[in-house]
Every structure is written in C-alpha cells, then in structure tokens.
Amino acid sequence: MAQLKILVYPDERLRQISQPVKGVDNKIVSFISDLEETLSSLLGCVGIAAPQVGLFVRIIIVDVSSRPKHKNHGHLVLINPVITFNEGNSIGREGCLSVPEYTGRVSRSQYIEVKAQDRFGSDVVYQMEGYEARAIQHEIDHLDGKLFFDSLVGKRNILKKRTDF
C-alpha cells in the first residue's frame, strides 16, 4: 500500500486519454489499493481517477457516503466505466485535486446509468443521480483527458434554475 502523488494542472499528462483495462491482474489489484489509500488520505475528496496519479488506465473510485444527504451507492471502484444513459441537467460546484485553489460551477447530467466492471472484473450497472452522478461524470472526464474547467458555466446566468449545489 502506498499513497500516490497527484498530478497537478498544467501537467500535460492530465490531457492524456486512458486505456481500457484488459483484465484484473495482481498489478491492477495492487494499484486499486494504492488509489484507495490515496483517496482516503485526501480530506473532503469523494473521487479519484487513475490518470490523476499518472497511471493512464480506465479506473475510477467514487465514494460519496461521507455526504449521506446525497443518494449514493457507497464505495465504488469502477473499471472501464461507460455512461450508457443520461438525462436532465444540473449545475453544481466542483473542485479537483489536480486543480488546487479553484472551484467553479459545472453543468452535468442529473441522471445517469453507468456500466463498468467492479474490482473483481464482474460487470456492474448503476443508476444514479445528483451529486454522485456528478462525481462519476467528473472522474470519467479525467479518463478522457478532460478537466472540470473545460465545461464551466459563467457566473452571470440570471434566472437560470439551479439544482444540486
């Protein structure tokens, strides 16, 4: 087990597209443990993606259970996650480990369905909404080399309905 170093923008590697995981071998199992330890060491952080620590494979961890007022599925390790359905729109504030000292409002889908493999390589599917769905979308963006401030919403959007802060 080890805590991994977080890549910080403008490190160009954060723009790299991560590769699918072909199988859950010992190396992947050990990496997931390290990624979990790294996430749990970061106060207030609810998600992390493999490329944020410099390994460009399609693995994310999301755990919103520390914010019980938001519906959530607990501790999720998702390998090769794909969003297979999305609906609705919500604007909420996001920050990123890889972009210190900056938060901004980002538009995301309110409802999503995500298909992936779990840490054992078994297929899983989740329907989720709101804050947890936001976290998943933020982390999957990392796998595609995107950062939250690529999709910021301007400050002065008068009378636009806002949900899910």
Partner 1 sequence: MGNWYMLTMVGKDRPGIVAEVSQVLFEAGGNLGEASMARLGGNFTVMLMLQIDAEKDDVENLLQPLGEKLALFFHIDKIIGDLYHHVEPNFRLSVHGADQPGIVSMVASSLAKLKFNILNLESDVGGSPEKPIYIMHIEGVADCSLSSLEKSLQPLINEKGIVMHLVSIDTMLG
94 is catalytic: no
Closer to partner 1 by CB, 96 or 128: give it.
Answer: 96
Q: Give how far Cα 163 sits from Cα of 8, 132, 150, 152, Å.
A: 29, 14, 20, 15
Q: How far is the CB of 149 from partner 1 (least distance, A)?
A: 13
Quick one: which H or E segment has residue 39? helix 26-40
Residues that bind partner 1 (CB under 8 A): 42, 44-49, 62, 67, 69-70, 92-97, 100-103, 131, 134-135, 138-139, 155-156, 158-159, 162, 165
For the bound state, the minimum distance from the C-beta of residue 17 to partner 1, rounded and expressed in Å, comes to 18
Start-to-end CA distance of the chain, whole Å, equals: 34
Q: Distance between CA 4 and CA 34 in Å, rounded?
A: 7
Cβ 156 to partner 1 shortest distance, Å: 6
Max CA-CA distance within the chain?
Answer: 52
CB-wise, 94 or 129, nearer to partner 1? Answer: 94
| Active-site residue list | 139
